[in-house]
A and B are shown apart, each in its own frame.
Chain A
Amino acid sequence: MLYFSKLKIISVIIFTIILSYFSISNFTKFDDNIFNRNINLGLDLQGGSYLLLEIDNTPVIEQHLQNELIQIKNFLKDKNIIYKNINITDNKTISFEVDNQFIDSTVSLFEGKNSEINPYYDQFKTNQFDLLVNDNNIELSYSKYGLVQLKSSSQNQAIEIVRRRVDEIGTNDPNILKRGNNRILVELPGLDDPDRIKNLLGKTANLTFRFITQNEEESFGTEKLSFQDETAEAIVSKRIILSGDNLIDAQPRMDNQVNQTVVSFNLDRVGAKKFAKATATGVGKKLAIILDGKIISAPNIVEPIIGGSGQITGDFTFQSATDLALLLRSGALPAPMKIIEERTVGPDLGQDSINAGILSLIIGFVLVVLFMIAKYRIFGLIANATLVSNLLLLIGILTLFEATLTLPGIAGIILTVGMAVDANVLIYERIKEEIKNEDNKVLAFDSGYLKSRTTILDANITTLIAAIILFAFGSGPVKGFALTLGVGILTTLFSVYFIARLLTSLYVIKNKNKEKLI
């Protein structure tokens, strides 16, 4: 166990030096292009906001079912199938009745890989809708994967909009990720007051222009909506003149005539045409500008607006006009979203945590180092050298993979310091026992290493198992702890078996005739 080939020695040294370089490069300021890697600090250390958003897909499903219903009606008409009582139940099922003679042909149209109306997903081996036939009643409901498809497409749209909104605000390195098929994770480093961004992400930003009707009561084709400041209500037609989709730009602006902040917008060609036509026929009427079911304002149409641009007035501050313009530019979310988890750490607390973490690392490290020297003298020094190289390797590997260091991650490093000496202790204690029965010191060392090896492996693998499971199932900061603990075990084993053993062997072979070696 004490013999090393030259090649091995050189590769151990090179490996250690390279990783140590990565490790130290975190603390130096100079830039170089090849090794420009750094450990990322987690949000709990650098400060920032972590927001988990959940998409409420109910309206999306509702919308899709309604579209589907119309398509099915047309499709059945095309195929000359007579149906009755077609409707949507429970926001998940479309059902209709057909006469006996049509049952078989209808079923065959909705089933199988080649169905025109019910798409087949090859990768899931299932259609979009599951078919249930009950006497003359045919029920179509979203299959498991039909729903998955629907949700992931709304997630894809939503993440795009979220990204645009976050980018518009201009934070540093935002991290926007999918979680499951209906969640979006937004990490905003350095942001200590997420109020504005939360506000913007919580809005669907569904903008419509609709006429206010003269009726006093709600009737078919109209609905009662309240103004944004909740002071008044109005009956609004359900017919949409224009929606946010037709907007190509929106900007906050100061209107000098009325001395008010407004949001001015430009429409695309289609939108401009629609708008011109509607305003031409609607002179004298009130046009309500509606955002997410609330009326922002309802100006009188004085003359037709033909240029394709206009402005939204309302009780805006400059901030709220800026935000509305931003929302309109980035587009509407396909469905409303809710913030279901928020973690925000201010930069001061982050810095305090870093300081406390580093202080406890240094103190813990010094205590362990002193203890080992007191206990094992020269071999304590070797164990300590192992500890230093272990730290350098651990931080080096974390840097190489640009891992994220969290506060529990620092705790993991400190714990590694405490536990890393275990392997050396096991070896030295074993050697002490072997030396009693073996006069040849080199042989005693050799068998000490050999006999302790399975124990050390067993002991470390058990901790490694805990770390891996923690990494796989843990969330957020806990993952950071598991990562440093797990990598720490690997670097510990490397330091003990390559670096410490090398140093031990050099020392023992030189001093094999000393009376009391350990």
Chain B
Amino acid sequence: MQKSNIPFNKFYKSFNYISIFLIIFSLSLLLFKGLNFGVDFKGGTLIELRSLDNSLTISELRKSFNNLTLGDVLVKKFGKDNDYVVKFEKKQSVDENFIHNIKAELANDVGNIFEFRRVESVGPKVSAELLKSGIIAIALSLGAMLIYIWIRFEWQFSLGAIAALFHDVIITLGFFSLFNFEINLSIVAAVLTIVGYSMNDTVVIFDRVRENLKKYSDIKINEITNISINETLSRTIITSLTTLLALLSIFIFGGAILKGFSFAMILGVIIGTYSSIYIANPILVRLKVSQKTVIKEDREIN
């Protein structure tokens, strides 16, 4: 394969504007529209049920659930044709039997044609704790990454990497807000993996930037980053592709439960790959990183 020579650095500015716009857009979405938290984080009950009667329509099902006085009930199709997911904000009930009662009343109303495939019921106290530990986990991993990069690189690099991470997390969440996708425990896992992946990608390019800075004393950082991105480009593309292949396979064949999770990851891999090129590197240029930055560090170590 011929070594690529794409002038990435020519578009630093324009892509930065796009990113800044996307971040502001995402932040305002998060601020004004908010996220669609699932039962894990908001509390409430989720029932996945399968209807054994093909003629049952979703509006009939919706109607009979509304008759149960459970408050706001959301009924949606889920995966296969006769599968539905039903969500409501049943506050922590005194009554341990409420699922049992729902079953009985449904059987009464439309007939005994349901198979309850999954029930998740989370009390408000537990959901608040889960949300808190999710936020702590994301904050801690960002912190731990920052420290690791700080130890392995110079501060300019760690700033660049962390900016890229925040960029990825904010835009991914913004996307979830825009399309009203549900945030549950597995999305937190996805976001953390995105953090790891994006960091991974950034580190590979940064390693090359550092190496090239030491090698060429007369080339400006703007050009150095461009050379490094090009040198590592085929790896970036191959790894993103194989990861995306695996994720697409989960997204298409992995069943309805993993859809949101794999979608977040696919989004994250794309945004993460983009940000290691167009967020992390321009920051090195802005911070005027030079040969001195990396040589000084070496001397301190020796």
Contact = CB atoms under 8 A, between A and B. Distances in A.
A455 B205 CA distance: 9
A407 interface: yes
A463 B192 CA distance: 9
Main secondary structure of the interface of B (DSSP, over half): helix
Contacts of A104: none
A346 B235 contact: no
Interface string A452-483: 00110011111111110110111111100110
Interface residues of B, number: 73
Contacts of A426: 204, 235
Contacts of B144: 465, 469
Contacts of B193: 415, 463, 466, 470, 485
Contacts of A429: 232, 234-235, 238
The secondary-structure label for the interface of chain A is helix
Nearest to A408: B186
B237 to A, nearest CB: 10
B119 interface: yes
Interface string B133-150: 110110011001100110
B113 interface: no
B199 A463 contact: yes
Interface in B113-170: 115-123, 125-126, 130, 133-134, 136-137, 140-141, 144-145, 148-149, 152
Contacts of A346: 115-118
A368 interface: yes
Nearest to A349: B117
Interface stretch (B64-72, B171-179, B241-249): B241-249
Between B120, B134, B232, B239, the greatest number of chain A beta carbons within 10 A of the residue's beta carbon is seen for B239
A388 to B, nearest CB: 15
A421 B204 CA distance: 14
- Find the residue from B117, B134, B136 having the highest chain A CB count within 10 A: B117
Given A198-B97, A368-B242, A474-B188, A415 B247 contact: yes
Contacts of A338: 92, 94, 123
Interface in A332-383: 338-346, 348-349, 352-353, 356-357, 359-361, 363-365, 367-368, 371-372, 375
Contacts of B252: 360, 363
B105 interface: no
Contacts of A465: 141, 144-145, 148, 196
B84 interface: no
A485 B242 CA distance: 16
Most B CB within 10 A of own CB, among A415, A417, A460: A415
Given A195-B97, A425-B238, A469 B246 contact: no
B236 to A, nearest CB: 9
Nearest to B137: A473
Contact of A342 (B120, B189, B203, B204): B120
Which of B148, B232, B234, B246 has the most CB atoms of chain A within a 10 A radius of its CB? Answer: B246
Contacts of A357: 254-255, 258
Given A340-B125, A357-B254, A455 B204 contact: yes
A293 interface: no
Q: Which interface residue of B137, B208, B252 has the most chain A CB atoms within 10 A? A: B137
A174 to B, nearest CB: 18
B250 A433 contact: no
Contacts of B133: 473-475
Given A199-B96, A352-B255, A463-B199, A473 B140 contact: yes
A460 B208 CA distance: 16
Interface residues of A, number: 74
Contacts of A201: 96
Contacts of B265: 415
Interface in B37-54: 48, 50
Given A52-B126, A462-B200, A474-B185, A421 B242 contact: yes
Nearest to B116: A346
Given A425-B238, A454-B207, A367 B245 contact: yes
B165 to A, nearest CB: 10
A418 B203 contact: no
Nearest to A472: B137
Nearest to A363: B249
- Which one of B125, B192, B242 has the highest number of Cβ atoms from chain A below 10 Å of its Cβ? B242
B253 interface: yes
A307 B192 CA distance: 67
Contact of A463 (B122, B123, B197, B258): B197
A119 interface: no
A17 interface: no
B258 A411 contact: yes
A410 B255 CA distance: 12
A430 to B, nearest CB: 9
Contacts of B219: none
Interface string B257-287: 1100110010000000000000000000000
A490 interface: no
Contacts of A482: 189
A250 interface: no
User: Which residue of A202, A349, A472 has the most chain B CB atoms within 10 A of its CB atom?
Assistant: A349
Contacts of A410: 254
Among B134, B188, B253: residue with most chain A CB under 10 A? B253
B35 interface: no
Given A345-B117, A360-B254, A419-B197, 10 more contacts: A198-B96, A338-B92, A339-B121, A344-B118, A353-B255, A357-B258, A359-B254, A421-B239, A470-B189, A473-B134
List the 10 closest A-B pairs by CB distance, nearest first. A418-B246, A364-B249, A466-B196, A356-B255, A340-B123, A463-B196, A473-B137, A418-B243, A360-B253, A202-B96
Interface of B: 1, 48, 50, 92, 94, 96-97, 99-100, 115-123, 125-126, 130, 133-134, 136-137, 140-141, 144-145, 148-149, 152, 185-186, 188-189, 192-193, 195-197, 199-201, 203-204, 207-208, 231-232, 234-235, 238-239, 241-250, 252-255, 257-258, 261-262, 265
16 contacts: A338-B123, A343-B120, A353-B257, A367-B245, A411-B250, A414-B250, A415-B265, A418-B246, A419-B243, A455-B207, A462-B145, A462-B200, A465-B144, A470-B193, A472-B137, A478-B185
Interface of A: 44, 52, 54, 195, 198-199, 201-202, 338-346, 348-349, 352-353, 356-357, 359-361, 363-365, 367-368, 371-372, 375, 407-408, 410-411, 414-415, 417-419, 421-422, 425-426, 429, 432-433, 454-455, 458-467, 469-470, 472-478, 481-482, 485
